[in-house]
Structure 1
Amino acid sequence: MDYKFVYDNKEYVLTDNNCDGIFFEGENEITGLSLDIILNALNEGEEVSFSTEYYGDKCACNTQEQINKSYRYLEYHFYIYTKDNEYVIDTLCNEYRNTSFNKLFGLGKIDDSYIVSVTVCPNCGIYSIYIDQCTV
């Protein structure tokens, strides 16, 4: 599974090979969540649009220019929902288009939410996925 997008006239391809890892906040790993599920979600998303973000850490490629003590990355966010710490659904998939967090929560299908940040080095294309628990 891969995901392709164009930003500033440059094509980026996110695959298993250039993924630096999936990093969970604390010890909160989510059962049933994989890189394939995340890349599939990006492919299903109708309005996926990466934007420029800045972080203090430099990519391992060591080619980024420092800008005010920060380094430029491309980033996109979406949400996943879980039940008993197991992946249930994400906000980009086709199934989610006719529902909402409140509906699913009210039906007892989900009990927690996480923000997924896909962060890509604009120079080499290496990317990381950060998953943080959040309140909706």
Structure 2
Amino acid sequence: MATPLYQLKAEFFKTLGHPVRIRVLELLGQREHAVSEMLPEVGVEAANLSQQLAVLRRAGLVANRKEGSAVYYSLTTPQLADLLAVARAILTEVLTEQVGLIQDLQAPMGPPAATETANQTPASR
């Protein structure tokens, strides 16, 4: 029996669900990178980067090639870079809305409405 598409999508997004993997894909969306070039950009130990690259490779999201002693990685499809750009646009929109709400909450409150004052008893004013 074939795996349902929604389950495959869930597995795909689980693979993307790690900050190091996202950063690696962002870098590879710009151009091919050697592992040694990615290390300072990702900010993790070499063993951790290697582990995350292996996860991406097993998922078929990145390809690698060896040139001398250097190993270079690239995206298997440019659509991954497009997906990350869409995610960025969604987050920008969501966060912009949240900033607007926060600004509304932080705005100084004006004087109470006339009906609010009229409904209060002298003791509650």
Larger radius of gyration: 2
> TM-score by structure 1 length?
0.22
- Give the structure with the higher percent strand: 1
